[in-house]
Each structure stands twice: as C-alpha cells, then as structure tokens.
C-alpha cells in the first residue's frame, strides 16, 4: 500500500471515529435536554431533545451501515457531503449550547468541527470518508 493510501486510510478511521463521537455527543445532550426538573418543564426542551436524539442516532447509523435505506439519501442526502454534514454539525452545535459548561463545551466542539467540515469541502483532493459514501454505490440491489 502506498504511503498516500495508507495516510488516507488512517484519516478515514479518524473521521469515522469523529462522526460517531459527534453523533453520540448530540444524542446524549438531547437526553439531557429532555431530562429537566418537573417544575421547569417546557415543550421546547422536549422538541429540541428529541431532534438532537434523532439526528445523533442518524449520524451514528450512517457510520456503521454500508447500505442505507433510500429514504435517507432522498430526504437527508446532504449528510453525504462535507458541506452538508458540516452545516448540520454547526446547527446542532449551536442547538446544544446552553448556560453552563456542561452544555457549551460539547456545543462548541461540535460547532468547531462543523466549521472544519465546511472548510474541508473546499480543500482540493479531499474525498468522502466514513459514512459519506457515494449514494450510487450504496443502493445497489436495494431498490
């Protein structure tokens, strides 16, 4: 294996690990958003928490499955590009941010990584990694 292929293979594993950690972080923060003391329950916490859990689980799912249901590519096709995934990370990181360090630390990390993903889309020679496979090869035989 050439040195460039080996380096890209290592970066691919790093990106997959980052994507899984970001997805888990978003899902866990969604669970924390739902769990609030009973006297301060607000529907906003429930809606934001459920959205965070849904997107976090979807991001983790995309990393572990080689073949995805075609509805994911149809309705969430933006998750297969660096720009789309970076913008989702920016939005979810801003969505996670709160008043204490428990909220803003993971929110800031997800937001900064989202910005890095958006910037990576403009770097020449960077290919899709991890769960960002080409949709044409993912759906062979599933239709």
Q: What is the pLDDT of residues 32-73, one digit of tens each?
A: 888 766 666 778 888 888 999 999 999 898 888 777 777 777
Burial class (CB in 10 A: 0-12, 13-18, 19+), 140: exposed
* pLDDT for the residue numbered 135: 52
Report yes or no on 143 lying in a domain.
no
Report yes or no on 138 lying in a domain.
no
Report yes or no on 34 lying in a domain.
yes
Tally of structural domains, the chain:
1
Report yes or no on 133 lying in a domain.
no
96 has a pLDDT exceeding 60: yes
The answer to whether the beta carbons of residues 42 and 36 sit under 8 Å apart is yes
The answer to whether the beta carbons of residues 77 and 135 sit under 8 Å apart is yes
Average pLDDT, the chain: 79
Structure tokens at 105: 């630390």
Q: What is the pLDDT of residues 118-135, one digit of tens each?
A: 998 888 777 666 556 555
Report yes or no on 137 lying in a domain.
no
The boundaries of the domain holding residue 41 are: 3-128
76 has a pLDDT exceeding 60: yes
Report yes or no on 142 lying in a domain.
no
Whole-structure pTM value? 0.78
84 has a pLDDT exceeding 60: yes
Report yes or no on 102 lying in a domain.
yes
Report yes or no on 16 lying in a domain.
yes
């Amino acid at each position: 294996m050439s040195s460039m292929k080996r380096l890209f293979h290592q970066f691919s594993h790093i990106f997959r690990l980052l994507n899984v950690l970001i997805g888990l972080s978003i899902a866990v923060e969604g669970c924390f958003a739902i769990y609030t003391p009973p006297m301060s329950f607000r529907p906003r916490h429930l809606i934001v928490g459920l959205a965070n859990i849904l997107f976090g689980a979807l991001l983790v799912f995309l990393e572990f499955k080689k073949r995805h249901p075609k509805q994911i590519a149809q309705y969430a096709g933006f998750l297969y590009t660096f720009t789309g995934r970076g913008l989702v990370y920016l939005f979810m990181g801003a969505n996670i941010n709160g008043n204490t360090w428990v909220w803003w630390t993971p929110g800031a990390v997800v937001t900064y990584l989202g910005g890095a993903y958006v910037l990576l889309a403009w770097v020449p020679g960077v290919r899709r990694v991890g769960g960002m496979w080409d949709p044409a090869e993912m759906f062979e035989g599933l239709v």
